[in-house]
Homo-oligomer: A and B are copies of this chain.
Amino acid sequence: MLGVHYWELYKIRIEVVLNRNLPTNISPLRAFSAMAKPTTIDLCLGKPYEDMPAELRHIVPELFANTKYRMDYSENAGFAFVRDAFEKHYGLPKNSLILTHGAQEALYIALLSNLNPGDEVLIPNPGFLAYAPMVKMVGAKPSFYFLKKVNENFHYDLELITKKITKKTKVILLNSPSNPTGSELSSTLLKEIIKKFPKIKILSDEVYAELDYEKLYEPLAKKNSSIISVNSLSKSHALTGWRIGWVVSTDPKIYKTLLVAHQYVSTCASVPSQHLANALLSNSFEKIRDHYKNEYQLRRDIFFQALGKLSEKIEKPKAGFYAFLPIPKKYSTSLEFAKALLNKNDILVVPGEFFGTAGKKHIRISYSANVELLRKAGELISKWY
């Protein structure tokens, strides 16, 4: 019976209405995930399958017990020597980068400092749950553009974006690779978007981009001063609790407003976390990232193999750790099918409709999970089709 309480919570939708017409519920995804029993195969996980990299644990005592590592306030943007390490690593001027309290704060201050009340922000559908509430929180209006359905995947599409542009559109939010679909934006399409809408800013959420199995990540903000890149070490290096994120803009005016917002929202990023990021960047950054890339690619392959024939109809994600699967024809909504999967197979997945109306016929699978359980889940899921 564990989980029933949370299920009720989700159905009722907790009526927490912040001032400024804010979110009407505390994450339905959170409530739904909490339905997992101890035996449940949990494929809901929106974070790395393990705590933090073991080898970084060993760095920590030297970093933190040694008084040469100061632990008081850093500059608002982050210690200059840490931003130097980022500059060296990503080839971005250190004065274009602000270290933040995770990608969450980075996204928030990017929205806060670039929008006035009434402005519109284009958000992908399906897309990450938090975007719309965050846009509302800063007094702006979310407007959803569809990703184009090609076979069973969803692709960024210039025409579908263009359809939603109005005079009030100030920001287009892009998330590549996408949560929940895993699909990626091509650099050709990015160029087209910028060319067509030179006055609109691009907010690019790149938190899964280091985990691309085929190509090396480059912050999109390097390509054009109208692009604001957001990233973190949470997914790529399994450092979620350390809250190490950053926001990048090469436009000095945008950068200054970001810094003002950051100063008043959080002062500076956690200083111990800044020291850890610095140690990581100067040492095992690539090694750890490549380790996780391989692990996720392996898990993807095992899961897709277990899906059998079904896998032939679906584009394999090339990055991150999410797959977006179509639901069997006999179900009319993702929530119904997710519920059936839980009741019959004790497998927990995320109903695609949580990510927007376009997700109504899909479920999100996180393959950031145990290999044997993934195989078992894949086999059980394949039997529904």
Which residues of A line the B interface, CB within 8 A?
Answer: 14, 16-20, 22-23, 26-27, 47-48, 51-52, 54, 57-58, 60-61, 64-65, 67, 70-74, 101-102, 104-105, 108, 112-117, 130, 133-134, 137, 139, 238-243, 256-257, 259-261, 263-273
Contacts and interface: CB of A to CB of B under 8 A. Distances in A.
Given A16-B256, A48-B72, 18 more contacts: A17-B257, A18-B112, A20-B116, A26-B256, A51-B72, A52-B72, A71-B241, A72-B238, A101-B105, A104-B265, A108-B266, A117-B117, A139-B139, A242-B272, A243-B266, A243-B270, A243-B271, A270-B270
A36 to B, nearest CB: 15
B16 A257 contact: yes
Given A51-B72, A72-B47, A117-B139, A22 B241 contact: no
A19 B71 contact: no
Given A26-B263, A104-B266, A263-B27, A71 B18 contact: no
B265 A241 contact: no
A51 B64 contact: no
A270 B242 contact: yes
A19 to B, nearest CB: 5
Nearest to A170: B19
